[in-house]
Amino acid sequence: MSTNKIALSNSRTKGIILVLIAAILWGISGTVAQFLFQRNHFSPEWLVVVRLLFSGIILLIFASLKEKKNIGEIWKNKKDVISLFLFSIFGMLAVQYTYFAAIKNSNAATATILQYLAPVIITWYLAMRLKKMPTAKEIFAVILALVGTFLLVTHGTIKGLSITGWALFWGLASAFALAFYSLQPQNLLKKYGSTIVVGWGMLIGGICFSFINSPFHFQGHWSISAYFAVIFIVIFGTLIAFYCYLESLKYINASESSLLACVEPLSAAVLSVIWLNVNFELVDWIGSLCIISTIVILSITDHKVEA
C-alpha cells in the first residue's frame, strides 16, 4: 500500500471518528435538553443563549492560550467577517435554536430524526450547484426520506399530524439550518481552523441572540440534576461536539459528515424511550429507520485512490 493511500485512509478514519463522537454527544445532549424543558421547565431561548456564550468564550480562550492562535486574525478580512456573521447567525445560532424549539414542541427523538433530513438537502443542493442530475440512488434516498417523514409525523394516516404543526416546522427548519451549517463555513475552516471559527460563531450567535432573549432572563427551576444537565450541554453537547463535527470537515466532505452522523438520531431515540419514557410506536420506528437508511444509502460511495 502506497504512502498516499495510507495517509488518506488515516485521515478518513480520523474524520469518521470525530463525526461519530459529535453525533453521539449531540444525541445525548438533545435528550438532556428535553429533560430540562419537560421536568424543570427551562426555556429553549435561555438555554441556547447561555450555551452559545459560554461555549464561545471557552473555545476562544482555548484557541488563544493552548493553541497559541491569533483569534483576531479573522477580523482583518472584510469578506471573511461577512462570511463569519452569516455562519454565526444562519448556521450556528439557527441550528441550535430550531433544534431546541423542535424538542420543546415534540421530543428529542422526533426533533433529531427530522433534523437529519439535512443530508438529503445537502445532496440535492450540491447536485443543483454542480449541475449534475441526481443518481438513481439519490432519488431513491429522497423518496425513502419522504416516506419516513410521512410515517413519523402522521403515524401513517392522512387524517392529521401525530405531532404539532410547530414541531414539524421547527424540525424541518432545523434540517435546513444543519445543511447550511455544514456547507457554508468550509473556506473559513480551511483558512482559520475549527477552534477559531466555531468559537467566534458561538460567541457572535450568542451576543446577537442576547438582544432577543437576555441570558439574565431565566425561566424554570433549578435542581442538582439541572445544574449537571446544563454543564453537560454546554461542555459536551456544544463545545466538544461542534468542534469535533467541524474538525471532521478537514478530513471528509460536508455530505459525508452529515451522513455518518446518523448515529445521533438513533442515540437520541433510544435514550428518549429508555430514560424519558417517550412513547415511540412501531410506525415511528419504521419512519425513523427509513430516514436513517437514507443517510446510510447516500454515504455508500466509492473512494478510489491512486496507488
Convert the pLDDT of each residue in 242-277 to its tens digit: 778 777 877 877 666 656 666 776 777 778 778 877
What pLDDT is stored for residue 101 in this prediction? 94
Q: What confidence score (pLDDT) does residue 76 get?
A: 92
- CA pair distance 153, 2, nearest whole angstrom: 49
CA 192 to chain centre: 21
Position 37: which residue type? F
Q: How far is CA 109 from the centre of its chain?
A: 14
CB-based contacts of 231: which residues, under 8 Å, 6+ apart?
none
286-291-292 Cα angle (round to 5): 95
> Residue 240, Cβ neighbours under 10 Å: how many?
17
Residue ranges of the chain whose pLDDT lies below 70: 1-9, 156-162, 254-262, 265, 295, 298-307
**pLDDT tens, 151-168?**
777 776 666 656 788 999
Concatenate the DSSP letters of all residues of 118-162 into one string. HHHHHHHHHHHHTT-PPPHHHHHHHHHHHHHHHHHHHTT-TT--S
Claim: this prediction has a pTM higher than 0.85: no
> Who contacts 279 (Cβ-Cβ below 8 Å, separation ≥6)?
none
Contacts of 211 (CB under 8 A, 6+ apart): none
DSSP annotation string for 37-80: HHHS---HHHHHHHHHHHHHHHHHHHHHHTS---TTGGGG-HHH
Which residue matches cell numbers 469578506?
79
